[in-house]
Structures are given as structure tokens and as C-alpha cells.
Structure 1
Amino acid sequence: MTTILLTGFEPFAGDATNPSGDAVRLIAERWAGPETLVSEVLPVEFAGASARLGALTREHSPDVVVAVGLAGGRTGLTPERVAINLADARIPDNVGDQPLDRPSVAGAPAAYFATLPVKAMTAAIAAAGVPASLSHSAGTFVCNHVMFTALHETAAAPGIRAGFLHVPYASENAPDGASSLPLGDIVWGLEAALRAAVDSPVDAALPGGTLH
């Protein structure tokens, strides 16, 4: 039985909600398989989020890991292609940690490519009628840190697919003037991405592994 680990994030930076966490909860409520879905909403904390993701990965031995976070200002869902080994925070996390020019994992490679079929996921989201594009930067905040952690945790197990996907604000709670999508569309797009993450071949043009 295939196991999927799906994570979102709690609210941060003064927001009352976080569409990544809200969407993950909704997907978990209506998940009908056939895969086993393990889901959790992570804290927006550099140390706490990476520790919890690592613990979940070791506990459940998932075949697919998809972490989801908010990228305010984006107009659609954006699978991420690369995680870099850098924590450089513009604002503090939810416990006040604000690393500057710090590696996510000391001694690890400079970057990891996602091992998810990110092009197929992007195409599947778009085919579901939800705006989507492939992204080449997950930033340097907790989202990138979690993506790097997921890829580092699974690097020794080449059969595991792992990566990250950003979502925009949900229209129901978006700041005035911010780009957004209805939460239902975000959920629909994420479900399409999960199906592609499980069923699609890894992108032929996308190298897996590390960058040095």
C-alpha cells in the first residue's frame, strides 16, 4: 500500500489563517484512497517544522512526501523544483527565530532537486482548471527549509518521491488586493497534484539528487 505524507502550515506573520494548512485538513477529511494518507499541519518554526517532518518521515516511511506552504503574491499553485541549503529569514518565525545566512542542514549539499514529477504535477493542476506554474525558487524561509529537510531525509532512499508546492492566498481570507484563489480550487488543484505525484513517471528532463 502506497503511503503519502502531506503537510501544510499553521498561520504566520499575523494572518488569521493559512490556506496550506486549511487545504491539507480538507483533503484529509475527504480522502478516499486507495493510498494511505498521513497529514499534519506543521508549525511555522525552523526547528520545530523540520524536526516534526523528520519524525513523521521516519515513523510512517512514506512513498511520497508533499509539503505545502503559502506564497502570498503568487497567482496559482506552484510546484517547486529546487530546495537550497540556506535559511535566511526576512521576518522571524512563530517562535522568534530569524536565522541569517545559516545552512538548513550543516554539511549537507548546497541544494537538492525535488524528486517529485513536478512538471507532471504542474500539468495536472492546470488540467483540473486551476492556475499553475513550475517554480524554481522556494525562497529562504521555513517553506524552503522544510523542502530541504524532506529531500535530505529521503536522499538515501531513491524510491521515495519528495518535494514542495506553494499555494496562493485563499480568496475567503486574502488581504485586500492580494492575488488569491478560492480555497475549493486550491484543494482541487492539490488533489490533482497528489494524483500526479503518485501515478506519473518522474520528469525525464529533471535530474534527481543533489547540487554541489
Structure 2
Amino acid sequence: MATRVLLTGFEPFGGESVNPSWQAAELVAAAPPEGIAVTAVQLPCVFGESLSALRAAVDEVRPELVVCLGQAGGRHGVTVERVAVNVDDARIPDNAGARPIDSAVVPGGPAAYFSTLPVKRCVAAMRSAGVPGAVSNTAGTFVCNHVAYGLAHLLATELPGVRGGFVHVPWAPEQVVDGGAPSLPVETVARGVAALLRAAVVTGDDLRVSEGATH
């Protein structure tokens, strides 16, 4: 039996016409790794609504693994988030015009959750596939972190047998036509995500290697 994986990406936001997280999710779902059944679902870039859509997708797909993708413009590679924090603090409005400041994602929830993906093993798998990858220690405080925390809370409180986490992807080349910021082709991102899924499906045990940061 193929392992059921829910892979999400976001709709465009911040005035962009595309979101590479959704483009990559579609590509992976169209040609999933062997032995993995991938269902791709687009989430709205809206506080609250994104978690409702994620919950509905989880209920429908009944996945064994959930990986949520989001756009992190300015990053050089595909970054696997280690932790999500219980705060919404929006620098810009979401797609519904909401801009929460210092609000809890889940009132009364823990301050933070660690990903249940083997983050370092996932990074190593992407690098082996020729895709630049790294561990990230912040998912920001916008809708990406909102979803990362909401997913972790859902898994911890209701679906402890399901693993999951959040992964950020760089801008696509068409988003930085002036060449002034790093980008990756969506096809390259999709190859990295596929490698990540293969690694995450096989084991939840992580590698004991240094991927820390000084700041």
C-alpha cells in the first residue's frame, strides 16, 4: 500500500501572481515518488481560513504524513522548519485584509512545537538530490507559521500517529526578473520536495549532525 501524503501550498499573496509553494506541490502530486500517494491542496493565505482548509483536507485524505509548503522570498534554498511558535504578528495584511498583532494561533496552546519530520535527514536527502537545502529555526510570524503551528497542534492533540511539518521554498525565477534576489526553478524545488518525502516516509528518526546557526 502506498503511503498517503497530504502536501499543501499557498495561493499567491503580497501582490504576487504566483506562489512557488503551490506550483511545486502540484508538480510533486502529478509525478509522486514511487510508493507514495500524494494529494496536493491549495490553502488560502488567510489567518484562520488556512487552518480550516487544512483540517478539511486532513479529514478527507486521512494522511499518514503532512507536509505544508510556503514561500519564503529571499532564501537561497528549500528550508525545513524545525519549530513553529504560537504567535501571529503580521507585517503585511493577509489576503482577506487581516493583520493580527501579537495574537495566539491557538489560545492556551504551548509556546511552540517542534516538527515531527526528521528535519536534518530531509535536508540531507534534498542535498543528495542536487537541491540546496537547510534547516530553518524560524517560520516567521505570518500565515506560514500560523499553518505550521496549527498543523503541529492538530497532530499533537488529535492525530498523534500522523507526522508532519512545514517547509519553505524560495521565490521562482519569474518573481525576481531583475536578478536582485535568490530564486530556484519550481522544477528544482519539486525535486527537492520529492526527495524530502521519500526520506520522511521511511523513518521519523533524525540524523545527529550539526545544522545549527549562530544567529
User: 5 Å matches for 1:77-116?
Assistant: 77-116=78-117
**Conserved in 1, the CA contact under 8 Å of 2:116 and 2:204?**
no
**Conserved in 2, the CA contact under 8 Å of 1:150 and 1:162?**
yes
Question: Taking structure 2 as the reference length, what is the TM-score of the superposition?
Answer: 0.91
**Conserved in 2, the CA contact under 8 Å of 1:57 and 1:153?**
no
Decide which of 182, 196, 199 is 1:196's aligned counterpart. 199
1:78-127 residue CA offsets vs partner (Å, 9 max, x unmatched):
00000000000000000101000000011111110000111100000111
1:180-207 residue CA offsets vs partner (Å, 9 max, x unmatched):
011111111111111111113322669x
Aligned partner letter, 1:192 = A
**Conserved in 1, the CA contact under 8 Å of 2:33 and 2:198?**
no
User: 5 Å matches for 1:18-57?
Assistant: 18-31=19-32, 33-57=34-58
Give the corresponding residue for 2:130.
129
**Conserved in 2, the CA contact under 8 Å of 1:120 and 1:200?**
no
Give the corresponding residue for 2:175.
173
Give the corresponding residue for 2:4.
3
Distance 1:13 1:175 in 2: 17
Q: How many residues in Structure 1 have an aligned counterpart in Structure 2?
A: 206
Higher deviation after alignment, 27-36 or 6-15:
27-36
Distance 2:103 2:153 in 1: 16
Shift of 1:33: 4.2
User: 5 Å matches for 1:197-212?
Assistant: 197-203=200-206
Higher deviation after alignment, 35-44 or 135-144:
35-44
**CA distance 1:173–1:80, shift in 2 (3 Å):** same
- State the 4+ residue runs in structure 1 displaced beyond 6 angstroms: none
Higher deviation after alignment, 63-72 or 38-47:
38-47
Cα RMSD for the two superposed structures: 1.6
**Conserved in 1, the CA contact under 8 Å of 2:27 and 2:187?**
no
Shift of 1:160: 1.2
Decide which of 172, 180, 188 is 1:185's aligned counterpart. 188
Give the corresponding residue for 1:210.
none
Gaps of 5+ in 2: 210-215
Identity %: 50
Q: SS state of the match for residue 52, structure 2?
A: helix
**Conserved in 2, the CA contact under 8 Å of 1:5 and 1:64?**
yes
Question: Taking structure 1 as the reference length, what is the TM-score of the superposition?
Answer: 0.92
Distance 2:199 2:33 in 1: 16
Higher deviation after alignment, 136-145 or 29-38:
29-38
Distance 2:137 2:182 in 1: 20
